[in-house]
Amino acid sequence: MMNLVKVLYKKEMLDASRDKRSVMAGLYYAIGAPIVMCLLFTVLLKQLNSPEALSITIENAGSAPNLVRYLEGHDITHGESGSVKAITLIISKKYPDNMSQGKSAQVTIVADKSDNKLIKSVRRLEGALARYNSEVASLRLISRGIDPNIMRAVTVQTQDQATPDSKGGMFLGIATLSIIIALFYSAMNLAIDTSAGERERNSLALLLSHPLSSTQIVLAKVGAIASYSMIGLVLVLVVSKFAYGMVPWEQLGFSINIDVMFILFCTLLGLPIALMSASLLVFVSFMAKSFKEAQSYVAFVLFVPIGLSMMTTYDIGTDYVQWIPIAAQQYAMIEVIKGNELPIWQVLLSSFSTLGLFAIFAALSSRMLKSEKVVFGL
């Protein structure tokens, strides 16, 4: 019996590989997605980051030469040309008076804080001004014979448990999302072709006329589809490893590092998902009456795993979402890439339930194949 499945599996693999263009079309995602995403990330990082030499407009700079020089020391300068950020620092007319009399001297920052491209630069300016403020205030105290440390009634020492690998936040979510999706997309065409397509080419009935059970046929098809999913997964992981390595994450103080261990882990973790995905796609395709209909249904059904994955990506799920298949596996991937402990129970439970779903969809499909209505698409 297993032998028959093997033979059939080989046939399905051969069949699929013959149509090279459609196989490649499925794998384009796996190759293209990480590259496109990394290009986007690179642009995004550049925009989010404040430029090394920040050029802003400083009004009335002559009234506060010491402050202006301090800002220059932190690479924040007054500029006139095109690269000037839309941030204006206005030094009040009374600045020198107030400074010399120990009154608070005013400077005004004018900027649109809803502009994501500006926000880091604004914060940098605010930070530099805060440090200048505390520097002058400390010197004022020293010149009065007072230890400036008394201004620090409480010293706040933060111990950040994050590592450079774990600070990626949403970037990590998006990266893992693209990996999970590869499992579903790489073999989508193949799944439709081998089920709904086979039916339309009238070769399904021929297949069923052989001394095979419908379960064997379904298992062989699911196996072939899952194999292509896994190829897609490995491909997306390998391409990601190199593509993410090129993104200058370090400028934002973190890195996304896909190592060989992570690739192996994902491959293992992806196996049940690939089986489940394949059986789901076959099931949905057989439910549809025609090839085209199958395409629409499949696209629609894939929203469910993608939705689950999104919940993890944007961290909007409640705690028990972390136990649901797909969401749980992605959560585990994020934890592993962060270097945290592997959430072993989530992984085991979700993997088993994923395999359970695979069994259910496979059983349903094989039951459907016993119905002539399904086989002939009536």
Partner 1 sequence: MNKYGKPLIKLMQSCLIPLAIACSGLAHAQQNQKLLTPCYVDGLEDRLMCGVIPQPLAKQNGDGTIEIHFAVIPAIKETKPTEAVLAFAGGPGQSAIEVAPIFARNLRYARENRDIILVDQRGTGKSNLLQCDTDNLKEQFAFDDQAVSLFKLAKEETQACISKLSTDLSNYTTVAAASDFEAVRIALGYETLHLYGASYGTRIAQEYMRQFPNSVATAVLDGVVPMQQSLVAIGEAIDDSLAALFQRCAKDTTCKAQYPDLESKYNTLTSKLVEKPIQVSVRHPRTFELIDLVITESKLRGAIRMALYSHTTRALIPLVIDAAHRGNYDPLVGLLGNENTVGAIAMGMHSAITCGEDWPNITDENRTKYKASYFGRLMIDALDASCPLWKVKPVNPDFYKPLNTNIPTMLLSGGLDPATPPSWAELTMVDMHNAKHLIAPTATHGVAAQTCANKLIGEFIDTRSFENLDTTCLEKDNTKQYFMNINGPVASQVSEEL
- Residue among 114 and 157 whose Cβ is closer to partner 1: 157
Q: In this chain, which of 36, 43, 62, 72 binds partner 1, going by CB under 8 A? A: 72
Binding letters toward partner 1, positions 171-190, x by CB under 8 A: --------------------
Q: Does 151 bind partner 1 (CB under 8 A)?
A: no
Judge whether 346 and 322 are in contact, CB under 8 Å.
Answer: yes
Residue 63 CB coordination number (10 Å): 18
CA pair distance 17, 27, nearest whole angstrom: 12
Contact flag: residue 254 with partner 1 (CB under 8 A):
yes
Least distance between partner 1 and beta carbon 248 (Å): 8
Q: Is 162 in the site for partner 1 (CB under 8 A)?
A: yes
Interface pattern 335-354 for partner 1 (x via CB under 8 A): --------------------
Q: Is 3 in the site for partner 1 (CB under 8 A)?
A: no
β-pairing verdict for 107-110 and 54-59: unpaired
User: Rounded CA gap, 291 and 276, in Å?
Assistant: 21
Comparing C-alpha atoms, which of 79, 89, 92 is closest to residue 111? Answer: 89
Q: How far is CA 307 from CA 140, 155, 209, 238, 278, in A?
A: 58, 44, 40, 25, 18
Residue with smaller CB distance to partner 1, 137 or 206: 137
Measured CA distances, 182 to 231, 244, 270 (Å): 10, 16, 10
Tell me, by CB under 8 A, how many residues bind partner 1: 43
Q: Does 135 bind partner 1 (CB under 8 A)?
A: yes
- CA-CA-CA-CA torsion for 305, 310, 312, 317, nearest 10 degrees? -90
Question: What is the spatial distance between Cα 6 and Cα 131, in angstroms, rounded to a whole number?
Answer: 71
Near partner 1 by CB under 8 A: residue from 25, 141, 360, 363: 141
Interaction between residue 93 and partner 1 (CB under 8 A): no
Site for partner 1 (CB under 8 A): which residue of 164, 200, 208, 267?
Answer: 164
Binder to partner 1 among 61, 90, 136, 363 (CB under 8 A)? 136
E strands present in 159-269: none
As given in the structure block, the two tokens for residue 349 are 């439970």
Q: Does 39 bind partner 1 (CB under 8 A)?
A: no
Which one of 249, 286, 297, 331 is in contact with partner 1 (CB under 8 A)?
249
61 counts as binding partner 1 under rule CB under 8 A: no
In the set 7, 40, 110, 142, which binds partner 1 (CB under 8 A)? Answer: 142
Question: Measured between alpha carbons, how far is 194 from 23 in angstroms, rounded to an integer?
Answer: 12
Least separation, in Å, of the C-beta of 206 and partner 1?
Answer: 55
With binding defined as CB under 8 A, does residue 65 bind partner 1? yes
d(CA 272, CA 97): 73
Quick one: 259 or 372, whose CB is closer to partner 1? 259
**For the residues of 88-102, what is the DSSP string, one character each?**
EEEE-TTHHHHHHTT
Nearer Cβ to partner 1 (60/257): 257
* CA distance readout (Å), 82 to 57, 58, 79: 11, 15, 9
Stretch that binds partner 1, among 64-72, 171-179, 193-201, 278-286 (CB under 8 A): 64-72
Tell whether residue 148 is a contact of partner 1 (CB under 8 A): yes
Candidates 65-73, 79-87, 283-291, 368-376; binding stretch for partner 1 (CB under 8 A):
65-73
Cα dist. 373→60, 209, 370 in Å? 83, 16, 9
Given the rule CB under 8 A, which residues bind partner 1?
A: 65-66, 69-70, 72-73, 96-97, 99-102, 135-136, 138-150, 157-164, 245, 249-251, 253-255, 257
